[in-house]
Structure 1
Amino acid sequence: MTTATALIVDDEPLLRTRLASMLEHLWPELRICGFARNGQEAVAMQRELRPSVCFLDVHMPGMNGVEAARAMGQDVALVFVTAYDEYAVEAFARGAIDYLVKPVDEARLAETVQRLRRNLAAAQVPQIPDAVLQALSRLVQVPPPQNAWLHWIRASVGNSVRLIPVDQVIYLKSDHKYTVVVWQEGEAVIRRSIRDMAGALDPGRFAQIHRSAIVNLAHVVQFAHLDDAGEVTLKGREERLPVSRNYVHLFQRM
């Protein structure tokens, strides 16, 4: 049997590396034959290397993932990667398109790997209807809607998965590579960094106050100056969260 190969396309180096590491764990036989930073590189490498699979970021500067997919044709199994779940899932669901949402969840990637392995074993490359690519292309051309901010956070609590409404989140704090979510009913750990969460939460409701903490502004009742930094007091909570000097300006009018 011919060894399966994959091309990973993303303009963010850390995300390329992380996806490759996860694939190495879930699909040891797969050989990563190349990495591309944009759509133009992806098309050139696909034509040269002829990978079995291409993990293709949808949103990239210059030639985006949809344009690259059109240029590649139907000779490679495509897996689109998107940062906007609610934004693009409808378009993906219209056709035989596999997709992953950033940050990529290992369980979801495992499902994709199983599907890819079955298709490759049967020598099948799912054909993507042109109408689906057209619909997806129209979505890529416009900015993500305002409701693209997270509405809930998926977290592991014991042996179950809990969906935590962001309205109930009080604050988030860094725990090495993970993040602890503190909400009205308890705490949970998620596999997303504070930096990643800062970009996914509505900045009108949440504020990063320290390199290791994000707070729901609706739960802040008091800010106190401490030399050149500060701390906030939260509704009904005993703990106080530090505010580094880089974020003190957020509370100057309190």
Structure 2
Amino acid sequence: MKKVIIVDDEKAGRKLIKEYLKDFPDLILLGEANNGVDAVKIINEFKPDLVFLDIQMPGLTGFDVLTHLQELPHIIFSTAFDEYALKAFEVHAVDYLLKPYTKDRFKKAIDKIPTQIAENSAKELTNSLLMDSEKYPEKILVQYQNKLVTIAVDDIIRIEAFGDYSKIITNNKTFLSNYGISQLEEKLNDAIFLRVHRSSIININKIEELNKYGKSYDITMLNKDVVRVSRGYMETIKKLMY
């Protein structure tokens, strides 16, 4: 038996999936949602094995929903928009159903579901999207506005703690990572990315100048952001001085 949740802002879309599910008695419908915010709540509460997920919805998009999940179920996207197909498979979707679709097409999607349900967390999804197989990634997946995008690690100027999340600042944009700053610190090359404050990591290749400030230092980055070095991290900065 596999637990199922349907997420679609259109009643007709939810009704069609429920009708097609009648041919699959091992798929048990637990509930449904008509917007992204409610989808996050119901998926995190019931932890289904499979979610039929629309993409363009009120509140959060289907891709936004994925970034807020505690555990990642198998996903079959069901949408009227074909431009998201590539991104859907980048997040390891089982299939991409383009509305309107037939019962036969629905069955083909169901047949693609792995026999063994994998228990992946949403953060493991982010790990799987790191573009480099070496110890340190060259690209990472982050949130920008209402979508997920990849950015080159070399473009990162600095990282700033933002509650349980982190802001990643490049030359002209600020992105949001689901990882806390300490988790990002572990994943990035410590020869390039230095922790200079409990809430700040800098890319040493993006430093413009270092200025003495009392018993500490201020670091001016290439984008003119100024980052304070806390006393606890002074020795880290001194290692850069010759």
Q: Which structure shows the higher helix fraction?
A: 1
